[in-house]
């Protein structure tokens, strides 16, 4: 898949993230005017978001291989000294849900956390990660460094967490 198409595929992903009070929020990239995502990130200021599924966006992993990769990444994060929240991603056009993880940061630890998240993404063969700030959602290329982009986001309440089928 060419980079422009892959970038659009990434920005067709809706993310879900709970705030520090446990309220779930749907984060939808938009080309329109967006909302401030700070309330979802609080008390942190940004998050680096990754998954372990579908390495290289090839769609060649079986459901069992995807589940094993997700469990492995979850285990690594459980033993790391980072603040993590579940952050599944999905498409509004399908019922596919990909488990994801948001590593929360503040300005003083964001550079190191970005490097750590990118290292994890490389080891799980991910093309890119997301970077959520109060301003919106950035795309940071990992295996495909040319993948770079930014969208403002619409933030809407979600009644319950989405789960993988």
Bridge-based pairing of strands 24-30 and 148-157 is: antiparallel
Listed residue (147, 156, 137, 161) closest to 30, CA to CA: 137
Whether 165 has a pLDDT exceeding 60, the answer reads no
95 close to 105: Cβ distance less than 8 angstroms:
no
In whole angstroms, give the CA distance from residue 138 to residue 29.
10
For 100-120, the pLDDT digits (tens) are 999 999 999 999 999 999 999
% of the chain beyond a pLDDT of 70: 95
For 133-154, the pLDDT digits (tens) are 999 999 999 999 999 999 999 9
Residue with tokens 């422009």: 4
Whether 55 has a pLDDT exceeding 90, the answer reads no
Whether 126 has a pLDDT exceeding 60, the answer reads yes
Position 160 confidence tier, pLDDT thresholds 50, 70, 90: low
Per-residue model confidence (pLDDT) at position 54: 79
In whole angstroms, give the CA distance from residue 82 to residue 88.
18
Whether 71 has a pLDDT exceeding 90, the answer reads yes
pTM score, whole prediction: 0.93
């Amino acid at each position: 898949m060419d980079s422009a198409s892959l970038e659009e595929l990434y920005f067709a992903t809706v993310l879900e993230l709970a705030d520090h009070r446990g309220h779930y929020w749907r984060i939808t990239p938009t080309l329109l005017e967006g909302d401030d995502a700070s309330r979802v990130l609080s008390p942190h200021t940004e998050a680096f978001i990754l998954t372990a599924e579908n390495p290289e966006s090839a769609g060649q992993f079986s459901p069992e291989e995807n589940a094993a990769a997700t469990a492995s990444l979850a285990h690594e994060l459980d033993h790391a000294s980072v603040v993590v929240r579940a952050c599944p991603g999905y498409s509004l056009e399908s019922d596919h849900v990909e488990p994801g993880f948001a590593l929360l940061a503040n300005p003083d630890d964001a550079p190191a956390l970005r490097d750590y998240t990118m290292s994890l993404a490389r080891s799980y063969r991910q093309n890119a990660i997301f970077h959520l700030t109060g301003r919106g959602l950035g795309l940071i290329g990992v295996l495909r460094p040319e993948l770079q982009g930014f969208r403002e986001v619409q933030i809407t309440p979600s009644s319950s967490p989405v789960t993988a089928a």
